[in-house]
């Protein structure tokens, strides 16, 4: 690692994992919970890798860690719902980070397609499976948005490993 112009410079490698994570965490994101249903019941996961992809057709993506015990459920899923969290939903974020089965912590109902829909989020995208791409130790799951829901409010944000809120014009 070298220091120049007030920045650390390094090439990613096996011994640089912490530094790479730290650099990537400089990109602030929102936070989502992705849900789907399985034969064994509903499953959810906290994910900040969500991104919009295309308006026409309407496509979104998130990246699932192949090492996650929840990955098989999402790999097999024909439908999923992606929930953008509001600033008061940090507990829910932590709950679905710790467990795939935190549905007792939130009001939810099933969509016509059997997908768990969580209440209280800022936006929700109900998706059908569109594509899966190789993303190294993650899989890039692309969904086609069949239904979008949105309300006014402020988001939960994630930056540098910490949660925070949006400050308008700060
Ligand atoms: C803020 C935040 C963002 C996360 N984003 C992702 C993500 O984009 N993709 C992913 O696979 N896991 C992500 N995780 C990790 C999962 O939520 C969960 O902790 C992990 O899947 C637990 O391992 P398990 O699935 O084997 O139980 C994130 C966790 C946090 C707290």
Q: What DSSP string runs through 54-107?
A: ETTTTEEEEEEETTSTTHHHHHH-SEEEEEEPBTT-HHHHHHHHH-TTGGGGS-
Q: Which residues surround ligand 1 with Cβ inside 6 Å?
A: 31, 45-49, 62-65, 68-70, 97, 158
Whether pLDDT at 170 is above 80 = no
Q: Whose CA is nearest to atom 25 of ligand 1?
A: 68
Which among 53, 66, 12 has a CA at the least distance from the CA of 145? 53
65, 71, 100: residue to mutate for ligand 1 pocket, most atoms within 8 A of CB = 65
* Cα angle, residue 85 at apex, residues 83 and 91 outer, rounded to 5°: 115
Q: Whose CA is nearest to atom 16 of ligand 1?
A: 97
Q: Is the residue at 5 inside a domain?
A: no
Q: Is the residue at 166 inside a domain?
A: no
Torsional class of 136: left (φ above 0), alpha (ψ -120 to 50), beta (otherwise): left
Residue 150 Cα to ligand 1 midpoint, Å, equals 24
Whether pLDDT at 85 is above 80 = yes
Q: Is the residue at 127 inside a domain?
A: yes
Residue pLDDT, tens place only, 119-149: 999 999 999 999 999 999 999 999 999 999 9
Whether pLDDT at 168 is above 90 = no
Paired residues of 165 in beta bridges: 156
Average pLDDT, the chain: 97
The domain total for the chain is: 1
Q: Whose CA is nearest to atom 19 of ligand 1?
A: 97
**What's the CATH number where 104 sits?**
2.30.110.10
CA distance 64 to 134: 10
Residue 109, CA atoms < 13 Å, CB-side half-sphere: 4
Where in the sequence is the domain holding 80, given as residue range(s)?
Answer: 30-158
Q: Is the residue at 141 inside a domain?
A: yes
Atom of ligand 1 nearest to the CA of 45: 17
């Amino acid at each position: 690692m070298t220091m120049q112009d007030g920045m650390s410079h390094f090439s990613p490698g096996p011994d640089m994992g912490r530094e790479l994570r730290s650099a990537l965490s400089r990109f602030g994101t929102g936070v989502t919970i992705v849900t789907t249903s399985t034969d064994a019941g509903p499953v959810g996961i906290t994910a900040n890798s969500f991104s919009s992809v295309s308006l026409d057709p309407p496509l979104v993506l998130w990246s699932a860690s192949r090492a996650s015990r929840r990955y098989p459920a999402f790999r097999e899923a024909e439908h999923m719902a992606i929930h953008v969290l509001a600033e008061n939903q940090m507990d829910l974020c932590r709950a679905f980070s710790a467990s795939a089965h935190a549905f007792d912590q939130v009001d939810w109902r099933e969509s016509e397609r059997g997908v768990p829909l969580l209440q209280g989020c800022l936006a929700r995208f109900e998706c059908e499976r569109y594509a899966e791409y190789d993303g190294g130790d993650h899989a890039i799951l692309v969904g086609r948005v069949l239904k979008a829901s949105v309300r006014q409010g402020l988001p939960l944000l994630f930056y540098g490993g910490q949660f925070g809120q949006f400050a308008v014009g700060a």
